[in-house]
Amino acid sequence: MKLINIGYGNLLVRERIVSVVSPDAAPIKRMIIDAKDTGRAIDASCGKKTKSVIITDSDHVVLCALEPDRILNRFNGEGSEEE
């Protein structure tokens, strides 16, 4: 089991990530609202602006303050510097 740093001391199991998307599209905004209503949303942004949304295989929605390309770099092992 490998963990990926998604910023501010928050870690996510790498194998559970299905997708990383931008929060700007209307369908993603609706997904976030639905996840909050059903208790599947995890806010890992620590009060910062949400810049990416991570969807897991357990249908949880993780709100993250890192850009999707930075998460991709960390996913590929190209850097895990702390915020």
pLDDT digits (tens, 9 = 90+) for 37-62: 999 999 999 999 999 999 999 999 99
| Residue 2 CB coordination number (10 Å) | 10
Residue written as token pair 């001391």 = 9
Q: How far is CA 8 from CA 17, 20, 44, 57, in A?
A: 18, 18, 8, 23
pLDDT of res. 82: 47
Q: What is the CA radius of gyration of the chain?
A: 12
**pLDDT band of 68, cuts 50, 70, 90:** very high
Q: Which pTM was predicted?
A: 0.90
Q: Do 22 and 63 form a contact (C-beta atoms < 8 A)?
A: no
